[in-house]
A and B are shown apart, each in its own frame.
Chain A
Amino acid sequence: MSEKELQEQQEQEEQHEQGRRRPKKQEHGRPEQKKGKKRKKGGRLFFRIMAVSFVCVILFLTLGSAVLPDREYSEEEKRVLSVFPKLSLGGIKEKDFMEDLESYISDQFMLRDAWIRFKVQCDLLVGKREFNGVYLGKDKYLMQIPEEPDEKNVERNLQAINQFAEKNQEIRIRMMVVPNAVCVMEEYLPGGAPVRDQRKDAQEIQGQLAANVVYIDVTDSLKAHAQEGLYYRTDHHWTSKGARYAFEAAAEELGIANPITDYEIYTVTNGFSGTLSSKSGYHKVKDSIEVYAPKQSETKYLVTDSDNVKERPTIYDRTALDGKDQYQVFFGGNHATVDVRTTNRTNRTLLIFKDSYANCFVPFLLPYYDEIIMVDPRYYYDNVQMLISNKKVTDVLFLYNMDTFLNDRSIADVLSGE
């Protein structure tokens, strides 16, 4: 094709793109016609391929989605998928039906997991390092971006803790707020990625606590071992190893004189894919979960929790390893209360107000208390003072990770007992 022809063609295309209507020709539907036979051929194939492949792709995916059986649960997203909504007049008027139908269609879309992986792959290709509130750091570490807290609420929680401490002067009260991966493993963050300064948060909490609440800051102890895998790559929790270093740093403050430092380490699974994998859609790595058992410890114990009153001789839940969330191997997940009675005779009873970070920390505490009671304020609605006097609690530990603590909305209510 000569240069001139090409130019002509471009002009024509541009006019075409302008969409300016040229009524006469339009009605014949073939603006190319006038320009000779050559042109008539050029482009036709393209438009036909476009039309056919567009229709085919849509039909294939639509029919495929319709034919394939609906899935109830998405393993990769750790989410119950939508089902076909019920039709009702009210549902239509309030738009519920339309919204539910749209989410049903996209939830049950053919090859949904593959599409999401593909999307993440494309994002990676163009240099994106943040996926739905999760950073992908060096060495394939996924790190949750901490939320901005509601300052007023944090203050309310701290006040409640201080009042609680005032009421219970004779109890040894400790507080340990564990920094998250973004803080401890700062060097692993994508270069310059903005995150909250959790060191500053820790200092601020410390500054607001009453004198008899001792804050245990484990940031430096954890940072010293930042490269050893203190957090899971695919999950927002810390590992048993992280808990171990924190325990060693905290033992003295907890009033534990000669902590055991030798552990038997068991790897219970190599195929752990945690919450951050689901949240980000990045599934390229798996974690292993390790369990630490203190050597030279004679302690035996029985466990009950608010969801299962049957006494069991182990804090580990093997069945969780086959389930959706393998981190639940510790205590079978979160419960309103967990009660561990041991064979020790130390005359010490520990009450822990906690989030899920405690689940892999408590195993380290077992040899040093007669009884350990874990209370998760998010699900606990009973009177705390009664619990303290009934169980003759001697020690209290607030054990949280920084992100959960700064966004918690239940500590104050549980402590004030309203």
Chain B
Amino acid sequence: MIFSSVFFIFVFLPVVLAIYYVVPFKYQLKNLVLLLASLVFYAWGEPVYVILMLLSIGINYVGGIELESYLQSGRERNAKVACIGIVAVNLAVLGFYKYYGFVLENINLILPFKIPYHELALPIGISFYTFQTLSYIIDDYRGKVKAQHNPITFGAYVCMFPQLIAGPIVRYSDVEKQLMARTLSWEKFGDGTMWFLRGLGKKVLLANNMGSVFDAIMALGASDTSVLTAWIGCFTYTMQIYFDFGGYSDMAIGLGKMLGFDFVKNFDYPYTAKSITEFWRRWHISLGSWFKEYVYIPLGGNRGGTKKAVRNLLIVWCLTGLWHGAAWNFIFWGLYYGIILCVEKYILKEKLEKLPSVLQHVYTMLLVMLGWVLFSAPSLGRAFSYMGTMLGIGGSGVVDATGLYFLSTSFVIGIIAAILCTPLVYKRIPRITRAREWYRQVAGAVIYIAIFLVSTAYLVNATYNPFLYFRF
């Protein structure tokens, strides 16, 4: 089930919310409702792999308590072995389902004979919930959090449906207290609907419309693509992926609030960054900080000299790429950023900051857009030939009628999208929603409900509604 579907918004959500609000908080009943709803939500898309997720919850629940009991009785060695064991099991499952096909495919390329294998389906959300359980186990081992003794609460944490299939990656330490006690109020619910509708609009109105332009451009032959068309294609994908993923994160935050949770923000206007380093502080924050906390720092971080730091950075970025999918272009995409970040850190240093800020923005966006070309292309060869077209190699001139067609038909949405990448509009929202004059507040609500209705029209018409981040 995806959030941006008629079924989710008009059937699943109202039923779950109704039960959730009716049930009292005592005896963890709300958490039980949340857990059951999340299991139904997951089983809706993965009726078989829900068993895998339950087993994973079970192992980490039991393991967490086991770790704690070792630590309490002072047996550090046992705790260490258990921790490594649990982490290894989690990684093995993720690695097996995500990379088994990819690894065998590449081994078969090298070997003189073929190892037969049949491609396994990637269980939805496995990359997300595995990272969540890992954060719990490691923090438990480090003594940062207490083990969760209530299996319902723990289950609700791992498979909480708002963030189950596309993040954000919520760390246990961030929601530990909220799991036990949280407030529900009309104001918070209203805040949640605001976030949800904002995300819905981003996904349905901006991402999908940008995506359909991008698909139309990709369907053209290379010889029919002019420089202009290629750049429009790159721009629309850049917008699509941000609003798709960012919109989904907003919806997750909104749903969380409706259920009484506060999740960490996952995006912070990434396209306003002035350097790639800053871009990655603003893009998919929960993933970046996860890698920093659980890989980069344990590896030694930037202590121990430049050489080691560079090595660590490259390892982290290789893994980040690989996390996004089992394919070479994701690995190269990760390395691409790893290298740029090293260059910014050790070679460019402050030189970048001395540039006029316009140039800093241009520099960042250019690299980000080229990154998305790598990311979106079905193969490395296609990526490089597309970049070639963007530079005028092998295409149909600089500007052609087709390019102008795409420019004129996607102009309005493109401009709206570009503006909404910046804080320009959002900054003004509190002036309306928090204004003292009642009519301003009403006007604000009317705008959001209008977004809701327009999005509903697009959802009903959903001939085009694929979720980009389902692949990960």
A and B in contact, CB less than 8 Å: yes
Q: Do A116 and B460 contact each other (CB < 8 Å), given the known contacts A13-B429, A46-B441, A51-B186? A: yes
How long is the Cα–Cα vector from A402 to B445 in the complex, in angstroms? 52
Q: CB distance A46 to B190 under 8 Å?
A: yes
Does A53 interact with chain B (Cβ within 8 Å)? yes
Contact B194 A61 (CB under 8 A): no
Please, which residues of chain B bring their CB within 8 A of the CB of A20?
264-265
Q: Which residues of B contact A58 (CB under 8 A)?
A: 9-10, 13-14
Question: Known contacts A95-B47, A192-B404; is A9 also within 8 Å of B183 by CB?
Answer: no
* A-chain residues with CB within 8 Å of residue B452 when the two chains form the complex: 54, 57
B144 at the interface (CB under 8 A from A): no
Interface of B, helix, strand, loop or mixed by DSSP = helix
Given the contacts A20-B264, A47-B187, A115 and B457 also touching, CB distance less than 8 Å? yes
- Given known A46-B445, A106-B462, contact A126–B412 (CB-CB < 8 A): yes
Range class of the A interface residue count: 35 or more
Say yes or no: is B174 at the interface (Cβ < 8 Å to chain A). Answer: yes
Whether a CB of chain A sits under 8 angstroms from the CB of B62 is: no
Nearest Cβ distance between residue A75 and chain B, in whole angstroms?
A: 16
Least CB separation from B416: chain A residue: A126
Binary contact readout A296-319 vs B (1 if CB under 8 angstroms, 0 otherwise): 000000000000000000000000
Any chain A CB within 8 A of the CB of B185? yes
The interface bits of chain B over 218-232 (1 if a CB of A lies within 8 angstroms of the residue's CB, else 0) are 011000100000000
For A101, list chain B residues within 8 Å (CB): 7
- Inter-subunit contact A118/B457 (CB<8 Å): yes
Task: Mark each residue of chain A from 52 to 73: 1 if its CB lies under 8 Å from any CB of chain B, else 0.
Answer: 1111011101100100000000
Q: Is the CB of A106 within 8 A of B224?
A: no
Given the interface pairs A6-B431, A19-B263, the reply to whether A191 lies near B408 with Cβ below 8 Å is: yes
Query: Is A336 in the interface zone, CB < 8 Å from B?
Result: no
| Bound CA–CA A27/B184 (angstroms) | 10
Q: How many residues of B contact A (CB 8 A)?
A: 82
Complex CA distance for A202 and B182, rounded to whole angstroms: 70
Instruction: Judge whether B44 is part of the interface by a CB distance below 8 angstroms.
Output: yes
B302 within 8 A of A: no
Contact A62 B14 (CB under 8 A): yes
A43 touches B460 (CB 8 A): no
Cα distance, A220 to B10, chains bound together (Å): 53
Interface flag for B430 (CB, 8 Å) = yes
A21–B262 CB distance below 8 A = yes
Asked whether any CB of chain B lies closer than 8 Å to the CB of A42, the reply is yes
Any chain A CB within 8 A of the CB of B106?
no
CA distance A205 to B219 in the complex (A): 24
Cβ-defined contact, B47 with A106, below 8 A? no
Given contacts A49-B441, A54-B190, A192-B405, 5 further A-B contacts (CB under 8 A): A27-B182, A47-B194, A119-B460, A191-B404, A192-B408
List of 7 A-B pairs having minimum Cβ-Cβ separation, nearest first: A47-B190, A29-B183, A192-B401, A192-B405, A51-B190, A46-B441, A50-B190
